[in-house]
């Protein structure tokens, strides 16, 4: 393998391919598999309580002696105490009972029994999920454990940067707009991920092809990873032509043996096509690309808007839990990107990584034939 960029030196890895932090799906096992294969495995720890986060970090350290990363969310709206309820009319908290009624009606119509959910014992303690205190407590663990790489999937990690840098932690910020890229550059992050509209999970409005070069031009010499819809080696080569130093890939690693999602969801990914996803606020309250299901259709059709983060998760959470327990791909709206049609089977993560790197290399070599 011979694609090597400054990202390889910075992260001490062999190929400039980073497993994106995907909440619950990028487990310690998946992150370790990618790191052991020469990329950088980043765990999707967004919903991990501080206690489980510490356990995950220790687990990944058992599974690999290579660098790895931790991804969490730091949404500005929640951390500033906003949460979207400042305008006129009832607050999200006041709307909760009416929205719980929508939830109840949907479950009844779909014959979806409430699932108890097997909460990880370590998640039973600590601050409420996605509250300001939750994000702050997660960051304390990230600092205390001195992880090699930290990625902020949303928001600006500025308040923790000095402490992380003193530990030698390299800090990544995921952005979907040039304005945000400039902000986190000024805060002092080490790497910026430019994630376009094509990507799975929370995303912004600008497409990947247009976003990467604009972020590249805006942030001076800072390393940039391209992301969003990059699902095979052709996408990696293209991202590099657009000015990226490497890539941050989610969906392509979802259909792997190590990914922390059930088999029926992996099957839904393999069966998915280019048009299987939509951008919807119906899960977390923020726009996210995910599989179109009856739940996303419900919110596309209703007059009411989904509630802002963190309230919408209180409505969608029990539905997704029940859909997961009942193995209902027609309801479970998993995050994934538009590259879905390029996924043809479930394989080991090291095989996926090797194929991505090999294809990217041959595309880049082949490009000279165009001249």
Bridging pattern class, strands 201-202 and 288-291: antiparallel
* Interaction between residue 250 and ligand FMN (CB under 6 A): yes
Piece of 5-13, 78-86, 249-257, 345-353 that binds ligand FMN (CB under 6 A): 249-257
* Interaction between residue 232 and ligand FMN (CB under 6 A): no
Q: Which of 126, 335, 357, 363 binds ligand FMN (CB under 6 A)?
A: 335
CA dihedral for 151, 153, 156, 157, sign (positive or negative):
negative
Residue with smaller CB distance to ligand FMN, 103 or 284: 284
Q: Which of 84, 126, 228, 318 binds ligand FMN (CB under 6 A)?
A: 228
Q: Which run of H or of E encompasses 104?
A: helix 92-110
E strand intervals along the chain: 17-19, 40-44, 68-73, 149-154, 170-175, 191-195, 201-202, 224-227, 246-249, 277-280, 288-291
* Interaction between residue 195 and ligand FMN (CB under 6 A): yes
Piece of 61-69, 123-131, 136-144, 224-232 that binds ligand FMN (CB under 6 A): 224-232
Q: Which of 10, 16, 17, 23 binds ligand FMN (CB under 6 A)?
A: 23
Site for ligand FMN in 71-100 (CB under 6 A): 71, 73
- Residue spans of alpha helices (H) in 145-232: 158-166, 178-187, 208-218
Residue with smaller CB distance to ligand FMN, 112 or 252: 252
Site for ligand FMN in 148-187 (CB under 6 A): 153, 174
Please tell me the distance from the alpha carbon of residue 47 to that of residue 38, in angstroms, as a whole number: 27
Q: CA angle, 150 as apex, 145 and 155 as ends, to 5°?
A: 125
Q: Which of 201, 226, 272, 308 binds ligand FMN (CB under 6 A)?
A: 201
Piece of 5-13, 85-93, 156-164, 227-235 that binds ligand FMN (CB under 6 A): 227-235
Q: Which of 16, 21, 148, 176 binds ligand FMN (CB under 6 A)?
A: 21
Q: Which residue is nearest to ligand FMN (CB)?
A: 153
Piece of 3-11, 50-58, 98-106, 246-254 that binds ligand FMN (CB under 6 A): 246-254
CA distances for 304 relative to 91, 298, 312, 316, angstroms? 14, 10, 12, 14
Q: Which of 337, 343, 349, 356 binds ligand FMN (CB under 6 A)?
A: 337
Piece of 115-123, 265-273, 330-338, 349-357 that binds ligand FMN (CB under 6 A): 330-338
CA distances for 21 relative to 24, 87, 115, 150, angstroms? 9, 33, 26, 10
Nearest to 248 by CA among 170, 161, 175: 175
Total interface residues for ligand FMN by CB under 6 A: 30
Half-sphere exposure (Cβ direction) of 270: Cα atoms closer than 13 Å = 13
- Minimum Å gap between C-beta 202 and ligand FMN is 6
Nearest to 295 by CA among 325, 318, 271, 274: 318
- Minimum Å gap between C-beta 142 and ligand FMN is 14
Spell out the residues 6+ positions from residue 167 whose beta carbon is closer than 8 angstroms to its own. 143, 146
Q: Which residues bind ligand FMN (CB under 6 A)?
A: 20-23, 25, 44, 46, 71, 73, 153, 174, 195, 198-201, 227-230, 248-251, 254, 334-337, 339
């Amino acid at each position: 393998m011979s694609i090597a960029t400054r990202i390889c030196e910075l992260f001490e890895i062999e190929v400039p391919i980073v497993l994106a932090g995907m909440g619950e799906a990028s487990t310690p096992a998946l992150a370790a598999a990618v790191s052991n294969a020469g990329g950088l495995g980043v765990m999707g720890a967004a919903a991990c309580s501080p206690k489980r986060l510490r356990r995950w970090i220790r687990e990944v350290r058992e599974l690999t002696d290579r660098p790895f990363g931790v991804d969490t969310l730091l949404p500005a709206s929640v951390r500033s105490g906003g949460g979207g309820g400042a305008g006129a009319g009832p607050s999200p908290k006041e709307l909760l009972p009416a929205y719980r009624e929508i939830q109840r009606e949907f479950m009844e119509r779909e014959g979806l029994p409430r699932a108890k959910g097997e909460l990880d014992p370590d998640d039973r303690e600590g601050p409420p999920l996605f509250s300001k205190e939750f994000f702050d407590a997660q960051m304390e663990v990230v600092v205390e454990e001195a992880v090699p790489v930290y990625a902020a999937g949303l928001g600006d990690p500025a308040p923790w940067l000095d402490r992380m840098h003193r530990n030698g932690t390299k800090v990544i910020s995921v952005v979907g707009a040039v304005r945000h890229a400039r902000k986190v550059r000024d805060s002092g992050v080490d790497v910026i991920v430019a994630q376009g509209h094509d990507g799975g999970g929370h995303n912004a409005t600008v497409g990947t092809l247009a976003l990467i070069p604009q972020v590249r031009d805006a942030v001076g010499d800072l390393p940039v990873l391209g992301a969003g819809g990059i699902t095979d080696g052709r996408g990696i080569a293209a991202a590099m032509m657009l000015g990226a130093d490497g890539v941050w890939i989610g969906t392509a690693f979802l259909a792997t043996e190590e990914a922390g999602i059930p088999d029926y969801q992996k099957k839904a990914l393999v069966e998915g096509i280019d048009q299987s996803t939509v951008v919807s606020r119906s899960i977390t309250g923020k726009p996210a690309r995910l599989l179109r299901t009856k739940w996303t259709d419900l919110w596309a059709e209703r007059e009411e808007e989904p509630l802002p983060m963190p309230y919408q998760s209180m409505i969608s959470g029990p539905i997704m839990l029940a859909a997961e327990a009942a193995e209902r791909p027609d309801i479970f709206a998993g995050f994934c990107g538009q590259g879905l049609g390029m996924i043809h089977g479930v394989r080991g993560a090291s095989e996926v990584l090797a194929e991505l790197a090999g294809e990217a290399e041959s595309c880049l070599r082949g490009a000279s034939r165009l001249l």
